[in-house]
């Protein structure tokens, strides 16, 4: 099988605590549930793309521990090509400590572990996967030199390049914008990238326009319950989403990215691809966990 979608990114084991509300500094709260679930933005996006119909390969790095073996086995069970999911000796697998409150909002702390071992050299060893891909997806939970190498190589090969700039900590390197076909930040990421407060479709358009001024070709700002704002050099669209009762927003953005990529890989239109991503993300937030919440294609409207 030649994967049409290749995801270069992180694999984490999520350690999830349910809490009535998120604590403030110095406060101790009593939680009311603990669980573990496979996660990591890269792996989540790979699972979403696979469950929504794409042939997927993952390039990433775990530790040589039980969590790493479990994460790899879970991706294989989804039909994802994991030949490029490498094990780094002597380091733990990445984890994410996630607090989820009763309103479905979350706070997350990440310890990179094996993800920090995904170097450009390790990426180069699996160049054949990039050569065979139609779409390459990257995020920011692995070393930035590796993200940059991914963008350069995928662009050089003429592949469709999707960058989900998460977690964002500030502006992207200026030379990245021209390497990316679809830049997909959420509200907070768009704000960090541009300095514009993003809380509506109108402010999202302003942020998207600023990102295009820097060289971005196409920008999709995901706005949670307010839908998605899409913009390119010739048009902009606001695509609303039907309201749902959110239980856990973890992996909602990843589900959107994976669904969007799966639809593009299947040759669907831009609007259809956005719609599939929105439908999948809306269902994901009604269920707990990261990868456990991601829906399969048969669960969505035809």
Q: Which residue in this structure is represented by tokens 């942020």?
A: 207
Non-local (6+) Cβ contacts of 3 within 8 A are 54, 55, 56, 57, 81, 129, 132, 133
Chain centroid offset of residue 215 CA: 22
Angle of helix 252-265 relative to helix 41-51, nearest 10 degrees, comes to 50
Closest-CA residue to 71 (of 106, 95, 54, 105): 95
Q: Can you tell me the distance from the alpha carbon of 281 to that of 188, in angstroms, rounded to the nearest whole number?
A: 17
Residue 249 three-state SS: coil
**Token pair of 171, please?**
């502006």
Does the annotation count 254 as an active-site position?
A: yes
Query: Which of 81, 134, 248, 254 is labelled catalytic?
Result: 254
Q: Which residue in this structure is represented by tokens 């820097």?
A: 214
Residue 162 three-state SS: strand
Residues involved in catalysis: 254
């Amino acid at each position: 099988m030649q994967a049409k979608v290749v995801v270069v990114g992180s694999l984490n084991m999520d350690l999830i605590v349910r809490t009535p509300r998120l604590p403030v500094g110095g406060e101790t709260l009593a939680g009311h549930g603990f669980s573990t679930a496979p996660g990591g933005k890269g792996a989540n996006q790979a699972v979403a793309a696979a469950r929504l119909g794409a042939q997927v390969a993952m390039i990433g790095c775990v530790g040589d521990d039980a969590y790493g073996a479990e994460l790899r086995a879970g991706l294989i069970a989804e039909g994802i090509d994991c030949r490029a999911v490498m094990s780094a000796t002597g380091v733990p697998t990445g984890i994410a400590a996630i607090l989820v409150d009763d309103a479905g909002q979350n706070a997350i702390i990440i310890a990179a572990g094996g993800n920090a071992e995904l170097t450009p050299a390790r990426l180069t060893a699996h160049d054949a996967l990039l050569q065979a891909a139609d779409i390459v997806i990257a995020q920011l939970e692995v070393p930035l030199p590796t993200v940059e190498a991914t963008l350069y190589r995928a662009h050089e090969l003429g592949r469709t390049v999707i960058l989900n700039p998460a977690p964002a900590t500030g502006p992207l390197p200026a030379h990245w914008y021209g390497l990316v076909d679809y830049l997909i930040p959420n509200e907070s990421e768009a704000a960090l990238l541009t300095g514009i407060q993003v809380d509506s479709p109108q402010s999202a358009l302003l942020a998207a326009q600023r990102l295009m001024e820097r060289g971005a070709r196409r920008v999709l700002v995901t706005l949670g319950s307010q839908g998605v704002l899409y913009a390119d050099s010739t048009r902009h669209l606001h695509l609303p989403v039907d309201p749902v009762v959110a239980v856990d927003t973890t992996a909602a953005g990843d589900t959107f990215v994976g669904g969007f990529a799966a639809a593009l890989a299947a040759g669907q239109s831009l609007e259809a691809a956005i719609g599939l991503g929105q439908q999948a993300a809306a269902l994901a937030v009604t269920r707990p966990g990261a990868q456990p919440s991601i829906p399969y294609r048969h669960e969505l409207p035809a």
